[in-house]
Structure 1
Amino acid sequence: MQDITRKLWIDAPIETVWSYLADPVKLGRWLMRVDGPLKAGERFRFVYDATKIQCGDGEVACHVREMTPPRRFVFNWTFTEIAGVDTLVAIDLASVNGGTDLTLTHSGWGAVAEAVRAEQVESHSDGWAEHLAIMEELITGKSVVGWEDRMLAALKAG
């Protein structure tokens, strides 16, 4: 099964972009709220209000595999819809042309049950595109609204 790969260039220094990975509050704004330490070897969870945002069960269990400031953040990613299978998310940063190249690779899909694999890969691919776009908007000041607030506003609007 092919990995999900998303790339973008962000008009900000690598240290600024890194802070949106390493700072739990900033990470929680563009992805999901963080519960637990963001340190190599530690476990944490991404959490959101599943009663309002009808997507999954409100939790993604993670285990930090590598945290190399300001270049690389790698963690396992698992949740109910993939039956507890650990997939792997690697986010790599590089300073390029006065900004930062970000490459996200989400691998390990071959271990996910075939019945849900294609749907989950597509859903995650789209989700990563959305979340990374929000990250870029927050970093560059194009928006101040994070993911969960956007989702809740969209649901409220109908």
Structure 2
Amino acid sequence: MTPLKITKTLFLKAPAAHVWKFLTQADRLAEWFHRGGADLVAKGEYSLLTNTLGKEGTKMCWGQVIEFDPPHRLVHTFTHDHLKGVETLCSWTLTEAEGGTVLTLEHTGWEKVGEGAFAMAANHDAGWDEHFSRLRRVVS
């Protein structure tokens, strides 16, 4: 199987240090993705909590921070119940540009899913688009 990789690039009209907060601070993550159980920290475990009615605060995504270089690079594993314990990898790169930040996400590891990997990657690809439309609104 050819390795699948989701790559998303956003041009955000904010400095990298500001964008970084939205990737690592629990309350800022809640504004565009899911509330963090706590802020992400170097080499730490993290969890993201659901806001689904009746299940608020339940852990829905989790992983381990592998690289933490504020405000330039964040790499962490990423899994949830639908991935059945398979850990994918999210690598975030923030590059300062005139007038803002270029934020790039590479989400890899889909081949470890096995059967249905393409469908799972396609669902996450669409999901990232939805989340990133909110990120663009709240980060500015």
CA–CA distance in structure 1, aligned partners of residues 54 and 125 of structure 2: 22
1:38 aligns with 2:35: no
CA–CA distance in structure 1, aligned partners of residues 82 and 67 of structure 2: 25
Give ranges in structure 2 of 5+ residues lacking alignment.
none
1:27 offset after TM fit, Å? 1.4
Residue-by-residue CA offset, 1:63-99 (whole Å, 9 max, x unaligned)? 1111100011111011121110010001110011221
1:50 offset after TM fit, Å? 4.3
Residue-by-residue CA offset, 1:23-45 (whole Å, 9 max, x unaligned)? 21101221101113411211111
1:70 aligns with 2:96: no
| Contact 1:37–1:43 under 8 Å retained in 2 | no
| Bigger proportion of residues as strand | 2
Give ranges in structure 1 of 5+ residues lacking alignment.
141-158
CA–CA distance in structure 2, aligned partners of residues 97 and 43 of structure 1: 34
CA–CA distance in structure 2, aligned partners of residues 86 and 5 of structure 1: 17
Residue-by-residue CA offset, 1:125-144 (whole Å, 9 max, x unaligned)? 0111111121110012xxxx
TM-score w.r.t. structure 2 length? 0.89
Percent pairwise identity: 30
In structure 1, the partner of 2:61 is 60
In structure 1, the partner of 2:95 is 94
CA–CA distance in structure 2, aligned partners of residues 14 and 49 of structure 1: 27
| Bigger proportion of residues as helix | 1
In structure 1, the partner of 2:136 is 136
**Secondary structure of 1:30's match?**
coil
CA–CA distance in structure 2, aligned partners of residues 112 and 102 of structure 1: 26
**Secondary structure of 1:29's match?**
coil
| Contact 2:88–2:109 under 8 Å retained in 1 | yes
Alignment: residue pair count: 136
RMSD of the TM alignment (CA)?
1.8
| Contact 1:50–1:58 under 8 Å retained in 2 | no
In structure 2, the partner of 1:16 is 18
CA–CA distance in structure 1, aligned partners of residues 68 and 61 of structure 2: 19
Q: Which amino acid aligns with 2:104?
A: T
1:118 aligns with 2:110: no
CA–CA distance in structure 1, aligned partners of residues 78 and 123 of structure 2: 14
| Contact 2:14–2:101 under 8 Å retained in 1 | yes
